[in-house]
Structure 1
Amino acid sequence: IHTSQGLRDRRVRLSIEIARKFFDLQDMLGFDKASNTLEWLFNKSKKAIKELASTKPISSAKSFSNSSSECEEVVSEINEEKSLMAISEEKKLKKAQKEAVSVCDLQAKKESRE
């Protein structure tokens, strides 16, 4: 970003909720840099960004608040999917644990009969 003081990096502060969602997404994607996660988000949002750009002027601060709420919805949906996947994995783990206990019980009963 070019500023009156020359070329500068531009940093963004995120609310705690958005930061959690963002870094959860980054972990899900397996990226180690925030810029990779943002690039992924931009690539996935190209169509929506083009639609927004064709209907609203960029200089409007209001348009950014609308697009950020849309992003929050997308990340929220991703978190819901992650949650459902975690529940599914938890069920699989519990089932495997029960099966392991059953096998151990059978072996113990068999050994006690011998």
Structure 2
Amino acid sequence: ICTAQGVRDRRVRLSIGIARKFFDLQDMLGFDKASKTLDWLLRNSKKAIQELSHLKNPSDNGKFSLSLPPHPEFKEISESNEGCHENPAADDERCFHSSSIKTTEMAKESMA
């Protein structure tokens, strides 16, 4: 795929933590393909993405760096999940359930 930064591979490597969150979301949404989940995320992030496009510094060739604070709802999920997934073999329903409550509510609201 050709981008402003040059040719890019379509494949993306995710850290274990991000992959786990991504696939948990995909399961909650009931999607069978990663591209559907990414499309859902991009559509529901459209406003924030548009706001980012206004923050570009033209003198920096369109590049910019941001240090955004964590979204409050995701910070809450992260804090409620502390200790989960430290030992994947010992994962239990508690870890999945606590991480998915808020995300499920957000998914339902955005699909309505």
Normalising by structure 2, we get a TM-score of 0.51
Q: 1:74 to 1:10 in 2, by over 3 A?
A: farther
- 1:44-80 per-residue CA deviation (whole Å, 9 max, x = no partner) reads 00000001111124533x24xx47x758x66566786
Q: Matches of 1:35 and 1:77 in 2, distance apart?
A: 27
Report the structure, 1 or 2, having the larger helix content.
Answer: 1
- Indicate how the Cα distance of structure 1 residues 56 and 14 shifts in structure 2: closer, same or farther if over 3 A, else same: same
* Structure 2 spans left out of the alignment, 5+ residues: 81-96, 102-112
Q: Aligned pairs, how many?
A: 76
% identity of equivalent residues: 58
Secondary structure of 1:32's counterpart equals coil
2:38 aligned with 1:38, yes or no?
yes
Distance 1:33 1:43, change over 3 A: same
In structure 1, distance between residues paired with 2:74 and 2:51: 19
Consecutive unaligned residues in structure 1, runs of 5 or more: 86-114
C-alpha separation in 2, matches of 1:76 and 1:25: 16
Q: What is the aligned-residue RMSD (CA, Å)?
A: 3.2
Shift of 1:8: 7.1
Larger Rg belongs to: 1
What residue number does 1:24 align with? 24
Question: In 1, distance between residues paired with 2:52 and 2:40?
Answer: 18
Deviations 1:17-69 (A, max 9, x none): 00000000000000000000000000000000001111124533x24xx47x7
Does the CA contact (< 8 Å) of 1:26 and 1:37 recur in 2? yes
SS at match of 2:54: helix
